[in-house]
Amino acid sequence: MTTAAETGAHVSSSQEEPGFWARVFHLWPVKLVILIIVIVWIIPTLGVLISSFRTPDAVNTSGWWTVFSNLGSNEWTLANYSNVLTSEGFGNSFLNSLSVTIPATVMPITIAAFAAYGFAWMKFPGRQWLFVGVVALLVIPLQMALIPLLRLYTTVNLNGTFPAVWLAHTGFGLPLAIYLLRNYIGSLPSSMMESAEIDGASHFQTFTKLVVPLSVPVLASFAIFQFLWVWNDLLIALVFLGGEPDVRVITLALNNLNGSRGQAWHLLTAGAFITMALPLVVFLSLQRYFVRGLTAGSVKG
């Protein structure tokens, strides 16, 4: 004899099953669209990667997709990367890009973290209006400040140096960094801040020992944004550094390679993949913090 509990469980499971299949059939179009987007993004990258390992004759006579039907051929080579890293000066440009990108990423994060804590948890006159002013700076186009900054750098003999680019990227990266960090830090439990204050902790101790460890996701998220922006930048580096070989960054080197070797696709693909390799490593290393850092602070719960 079937008990009432078993009957209820059977009815409950039969009611849940349509909901499960409905969710499956409801989500498959979304998954299909995502799969199509992934394929569209992967195919060009795969083509660049394969072409970068092919000989000049193979690149000029056949498409990169033909390698799948002729895997045992002798058209593979590492000479493209060797030529780009040595004769084209990519090795030095790669180091210059690191010298520009790392400080230009660390500086705005450090400054913005202190400012965000001040806007979120320190009470002083005009705090809200100052924060509104910082957010308003997000709408100022970068191009409007290039000529005034260039004149200022020329006056103080800073043009053509790495600090000029550091300061430019820091200044234009701060509004977004302060906005993101302030929203996250402001969503931290107020009871935790009050407990630290009762225990006699100063604002600096609260910031360094409580806020910073808890803010790793949002710090990593902005680090990804800032690193990719600075690493892929061409305009600011071209204006403030110029094309001198000793300070030329990798985007300028790739641009020069494109101008001087317009038909050397085997070198262009190798140079392009060298340029994109490090940003991919940075993103994949920090991706676990990415979504968590962007969504944190959007709601309080």
Best CATH choice for the domain 88-295 from the list 1.10.3720.10, 1.20.1740.10, 3.90.1640.10, 3.30.470.30:
1.10.3720.10
Where are the CATH 1.10.3720.10 domain residues in the chain? 88-295
Q: How many CB atoms lie within 10 A of CB 34?
A: 10
Q: Are 183 and 251 in contact (CB under 8 A)?
A: no
What pTM did the predictor assign? 0.76
* Mean pLDDT, each 10-residue run in order, the chain (301 residues): 49 48 65 87 85 80 76 75 77 88 93 91 87 87 86 89 91 89 87 86 87 87 88 89 82 74 72 84 76 53 42
Q: Quick one: 75 exposed, middle or buried, by C-beta within 10 A (0-12, 13-18, 19+)? A: middle
Residues near 172 by Cβ (< 8 Å), separated by ≥ 6?
Answer: 142, 145
Tokens of 298: 């959007």
Q: Are 178 and 118 in contact (CB under 8 A)?
A: no
Run of H or E residues at 165? helix 162-186
